[in-house]
Amino acid sequence: MISSRASQQHQMGSAHADYPGLKENEVSTGTTIMAIPMADGVVVGADSRVSTGSYVANRVSDKISQLSKHIFCCRSGSAADTQALTDYVKFYLQNLSVETGREPTVKTAAHLMRKMCYGNKERLLAGVIIAGWDAADGFSCYQIPLGATCLKVPFALSGSGSGYIYGLVDSEYRPDMTCDEGRVLVKKAISHAMARDGSSGGIIRTVVIKPTGNDRDYTAGNALPFGPTGY
């Protein structure tokens, strides 16, 4: 008689021996993304590792997608699913901007994304953060985790590496931080997550969003503020 553990492994297949919690044909995915609205801007950041199980498919992926002039989306989950979702939302926001003659709001972008995620939640693996600036609400960010709940939050963290850094961000976040201080915190937090989470790694990309323009930046893997050499 086959034991329950052996039967479970047999059903999942030998390809998932290192990941016993996965279903057949399912792969392990992971990332670390975050966004922090400030008084003078919004800082979004992400690592760059795309993994399929224990294999790193892309070590310098850009997980920060621009949806409109002042609205960005940080993507976690399935790269294919989230890229398709951001393409759809970007298209709808462009049409809305042409029809109304004004830039879309962050809230509109977030609820469009939420509607698409919820309507396809059985077929998609997507957890995203929508952040940016608009004339109605100023600087804001919305978190849409797996399951497609849409929450407006003071700051947002998501992905497999986020569980390692909630305490760090809670202790160092201040509502009156400047964008320079926020960028330092984002890089510090993501580098800590990358040091602990095997599915997060590569480089750190950040974007500071302001009404006057957006400033992109990246930190190379050998210049991270925290890493194994700092133990």
Nearest Cα to Cα of residue 190 among 68, 70, 74, 58 = 74
Do 204 and 48 meet the contact criterion of CB atoms below 8 Å apart? Answer: yes
pLDDT tens figures, 66-115:
999 999 999 999 999 999 999 999 999 999 999 999 999 999 999 999 99
pLDDT tens, position by position, 2-29: 333 333 343 434 444 554 555 555 455 5
Q: What is the CA radius of gyration of the chain?
A: 19
d(CA 112, CA 88): 9
The pTM of the full predicted model, rounded to 2 decimals, is 0.86
Place of tokens 């693996």: 125
Residue pair 9/23 in contact (Cβ under 8 Å)? The answer is: no
Round to whole Å and give the CA distance between 79 and 82: 5
Is 52 assigned a catalytic role? no
Packing angle, helices 106-119 and 79-100, rounded to 10: 130
Distance CA 6, CA 25 (A): 18
Distances (CA, A) of 212 to 41, 44, 46, 215: 10, 16, 22, 10
Name the average pLDDT for the chain. 88
Task: Considering the candidates 31, 32, 86, 219, report the single residue annotated as catalytic.
Answer: 31
